[in-house]
Structure formats: structure tokens, C-alpha cells
Chain A
Amino acid sequence: GESVGLHLPTLSVQEGDNSIINCAYSNSASDYFIWYKQESGKGPQFIIDIRSNMDKRQGQRVTVLLNKTVKHLSLQIAATQPGDSAVYFCAENTGGFKTIFGAGTRLFVKA
């Protein structure tokens, strides 16, 4: 069935470096995508979102890029900090509020 997946299960970066987390999706009809951050033992927390009529959106230290041609999403974190260590999920909104999650990438930030 339709799914949202990730290329890299883990990512290790040096503190201060930029991080790039990638995600592939398969439902070409999806028109809304969200990145969530989940810390250990907690529920996911919203980071940034993007609609399919956009290819880039920026937030505070984060940028999401959307390439609809190849069905690819990425999350860029600038100047990665130890507090950014978590699992990051891309998610796909399939209508209303129903949200389907991708596989997730664990980000390790080395001090």
C-alpha cells in the first residue's frame, strides 16, 4: 500500500554542523507533509510543514525541501545542537487530519 519511508535509519553529526534528513514518499496524491521530532519516551512534536504547491519552507534553524518530481522530502537543521538529538519522522497527510508516518531517522549529535 501507500507508504512514507526514509533512506537513512541513523545519522550522526558533529555539534555545529548542518544535518540533512531525507524521506521518500509514494502517494503522489498527498498534498501536505509534516516533519515531527520525537524524543525518547515522548510523543512526536511538530517541527515544520509544507504543502505540495511549495518546494521550500524555512523555519527557525530548519528548512524543509519538497521535490514532487521524485517524491522526496528533506529536513535540514542548521548548526545542529545536542538538543536536536532525537528521532525525526516525515509524515504525510492523506486528507483531513489523518496522518501517516514514515520509518524515522535517529539523529545523534556529537559534542
Chain B
Amino acid sequence: GAVVSQHPSWVICKSGTSVKIECRSLDFQATTMFWYRQFPKQSLMLMATSNEGSKATYEQGVEKDKFLINHASLTLSTLTVTSAHPEDSSFYICSASDGITSGANVLTFGAGSRLTVL
């Protein structure tokens, strides 16, 4: 089945620095990937839709200059948290669909990347 890989799985950084998280579709091509954010004991909140070869589409309230998304190839999307602050600490999860697994609308999720900003 479809596999989505994220890296790093966890990262600790100092306040003010930037952190890049990678999301790869390992055995399929994904023109669209989705980035979610999850706080402890809460649901997944959709941040943005990553579109291969074009600009990402951000959800209302998500700062595009804060969360830079690049989808340069059909198998890789990156999320960069710029000038990170402690309130950016969260679990970031990416997802994509291969259009085949269990129906065309089902997303396969990565294992997530836990960001801690000190």
C-alpha cells in the first residue's frame, strides 16, 4: 500500500531558528499533499494544501510566511517553520493520496514530526 515518510520524527530547536520537515511519498506520486498540525489531546487541524509546482493553499488563520511550504517534486513536500517560537511546538503530520488505496479520497499519513521549541 501507499507509504508516506516524514523526517525528522522529532526535533528540538531554539526560539528564533527555522526548522524544515520533509514529507515523501515513497511508492507513489502525489501532486497534492496536506499538512496538519496537532496539539496534545486535540484533533488534527488542516494547515495547508501543498501543490506540486505551484503555491500552497493555506487554511484561514495559518500564516503563510510563518509556515513555508515547498512541493518541488511529485514525491516531496517540505514544511519550514520560520523563526520558531515555543507556541509553534506541536506535532506536524503530512498526508497524501495515491488515488488507489481504499478509495481515491483516502489519505495516507506520515508518522508525524514532533517539534519542540525551547
Interface on A for B, CB 8 Å cutoff?
Answer: 32, 34, 36, 41-46, 49, 89, 93, 96-104
Interface, chain B (partner A; CB < 8 A): 4, 6, 32, 34, 36, 42-46, 49, 93, 95-97, 101-112, 114
CB pair A49–B102 under 8 Å, yes or no, is yes
A36 to B34, CA, bound (A): 16
- Shortest distance between the CB of B38 and any CB in chain A (Å): 9
20 residue pairs bridging A and B, Cβ less than 8 Å apart: A41-B111, A41-B114, A42-B112, A43-B4, A43-B93, A43-B95, A43-B111, A44-B44, A44-B93, A44-B107, A46-B106, A46-B108, A89-B44, A93-B105, A97-B34, A97-B97, A97-B107, A100-B46, A101-B44, A104-B42
Closest A-B pairs by Cβ, 7 of them: A43-B109, A101-B44, A97-B97, A101-B43, A93-B105, A44-B109, A43-B93
Give Cα A43 to B6, complex, Å: 10
Please give, as numbers and ranges, the residues of chain B lying within 8 Å of A104 by CB-CB distance. Answer: 42-43
Considering the complex, give the chain B residue whose CB is closest to the CB of A103: B43
Measured between beta carbons, the chain A residues less than 8 angstroms from B110 are 43
Closest A residue, CB atoms, query B114 = A41
CB distance from B32 to the nearest CB of A (A): 6
Q: Bound complex: CA of A49 vs CA of B45, how far in Å?
A: 20
For the A-B complex with A43-B110, A97-B97, A103-B43 known, give 15 more contacts whose Cβ atoms are closer than 8 Å. A32-B105, A34-B106, A36-B109, A43-B109, A44-B95, A46-B107, A46-B108, A49-B103, A93-B105, A97-B34, A97-B105, A99-B105, A101-B45, A101-B46, A102-B43
Residue of B46, B93, B97, B105 ringed by the most chain A CB atoms within 10 A: B105
In the complex, what residue of chain A is closest to B9 when comparing beta carbons? A41
Cross-chain contact A98 with B34 (CB below 8 angstroms): yes
Q: Which residues on A sit within 8 Å (CB–CB) of B112?
A: 41-43
- Bound together, the chains give a CA A9 to CA B104 distance in angstroms of 29
**Nearest B-chain residue to A32, judged by Cβ:** B105
Task: Please measure, in the bound complex, the distance between the C-alpha atom of A49 and the C-alpha atom of B97, giving whole angstroms.
Answer: 14
Q: B90: shortest Cβ distance to chain A, in Å? A: 13
Shortest C-beta distance, B34 to chain A (Å), equals 7
